[in-house]
Amino acid sequence: MVDRNRARGARLLIVGPPGAGKGTQAQFIGERFGIPDISTGDIFRHHIKNLTPLGLQVKAIVDAGDYVPDSLTNSLVTERLTEADAQNGFLLDGYPRTLEQVHYLNGLLEDSGKPLEAVIRLVADQEEIVARLSKRAQEQGRMDDSEEAIRHRQEVYLRETEPLIEVYREQGLLIEVDGLGAVDEVAVRVRDALAARGIGEVDELAFS
């Protein structure tokens, strides 16, 4: 049976601060467009678990406490994007993280004739997120997840992503969506924001 609510595939990227519900929204977007939600963390874990050559390189670097270099991360993402389920589109989550990765991804997709269509940024007030995560940590007994640690993660996110966000803003790809509120409400905002860009039409060919 054809899913008449499924939109055509799309090439998207999602960013958002820790605690903004990015993972949940990424899942919704992937399901709606029929595209894989590609997380670099998941890619790393897959390769490490399966002892691939790239996975062994990543494991050695991580075990040594070092950062995975851009070149290796780029190789892993490139390989993932060649898989069959990503040919109709994808949603990248957690990549790119550096300006070098941004430029690499732009070149990779432009060479294939399939550039990014939009970058979804979930925007949320930092104080509200800190309050929400602090309350959750207390309820779950995660005493090591202090307010200080939560604030530090928020600051790291802002520091790392701000340069990337500005690049995508200049390229006209950035879509900013209020990430606070009920999950379904945020999902509707994301859907409407994409539709306003002409992204999300139902694929009529699927019904013929």
Report d(CA 180, CA 89) in Å as an integer: 27
Active site residue 97: yes
Report d(CA 164, CA 98) in Å as an integer: 7
Catalytic residue, chosen from 22, 32, 80, 121, is: 22
Q: Cβ distance 114 to 7 under 8 Å?
A: no
Active site residue 136: yes
Active site residue 22: yes
* Tokens encoding 8: 């055509």
Catalytic residue, chosen from 97, 132, 151, 191, is: 97
Give the H/E segment covering residue 118: strand 118-123
Catalytic residue, chosen from 45, 49, 135, 142, is: 142
* Tokens encoding 120: 């979804």
Q: Side-chain half-sphere of 101: how many Cα atoms within 13 Å?
A: 24
Q: Cβ distance 43 to 6 under 8 Å?
A: no
Active site residue 197: no
Catalytic residue, chosen from 6, 132, 151, 153, is: 153
Active site residue 132: no
| Sole residue written with tokens 């432009």 | 110
Report d(CA 66, CA 73) in Å as an integer: 13
Catalytic residue, chosen from 49, 136, 169, 197, is: 136
- Residues labelled as active-site residues: 22, 97, 136, 142, 153
